[in-house]
Amino acid sequence: MFKTCYYRTDLTDMATLMNYILSWWNDYATAFPVERVTTYAMNMRGPANQTVTVEQYRNKIDFDASANPSVENLKDPYSILAGKTIYRATGQKPTGMNDPQPQKKPTWDIWVNTFGADFPAKFYFFVRAREASYGWSQKRFEKYVKILRELQRSLDGKAALDYINEKTRRLPRPGGNPPLRQVEHPSKAYNVYENRERALAGRGKFMLTVK
């Protein structure tokens, strides 16, 4: 029934999250269009004692939330997590300076052009892990991210998503959704079931490095 009647949320929430975040940025840029940064003035010898305030405007991002990402296979729901930079032929002419209304880019394209093809999967993994309130160390999280990247390179987006789901798995209980989750025992010898309340979500201290 679920395969026939419902979308798998883990195949759609990455694209939805990317749309939301760009919308949040545009709202923020509208409310606070000017950024002021105070820094030390520079002279021949380096920073001086005087300070200078630099103003720069925050630009909104034009994007098409309904456009398909420029991945190789639109029928593959795992493509946006594959970490590949292969683009499909859109059948549309490229936009140029003389176009009266330049074509807006899909959200996925903006993220990949800004942060790299492997970033959406890493970001999704980070959000899922923090949402599940895992208390991983930074070293452990980075190890998992490295494994995720290797799966993208050697296999595909499905393998990447399966790995994310395996590491952030939630276990349902009779009558509703979790809070029961399967987590690794500190000894790393076996897994245990833990009851983690929603209020603990995001308690982890590990961070995602943006390069």
User: How far is Cα 111 from Cα 19, in angstroms, rounded to an integer?
Assistant: 10
Cβ neighbors of 102 (< 8 A, separation 6 or more) are 95, 96
Please state, as a whole number, how many other Cβ atoms lie within 10 Å of the Cβ of residue 34.
9
Residues 6+ apart with CB under 8 A from 70: 87, 88, 90, 106, 108, 109
Which pLDDT does position 180 carry in this prediction? 60
Rounded to whole angstroms, the Cα distance separating 201 from 206 reads: 13
Q: pLDDT tens track of the chain, all 211 residues?
A: 666 777 677 777 888 889 999 999 999 999 999 988 887 777 766 666 778 888 889 999 999 988 877 765 556 777 778 887 655 544 444 444 455 556 788 888 898 888 888 898 999 999 888 887 788 889 999 999 999 999 988 988 889 999 998 898 765 444 445 556 677 777 878 887 765 544 555 567 889 888 7
Do residues 60 and 29 touch, judged by C-beta distance below 8 A? yes
pTM of the model: 0.71
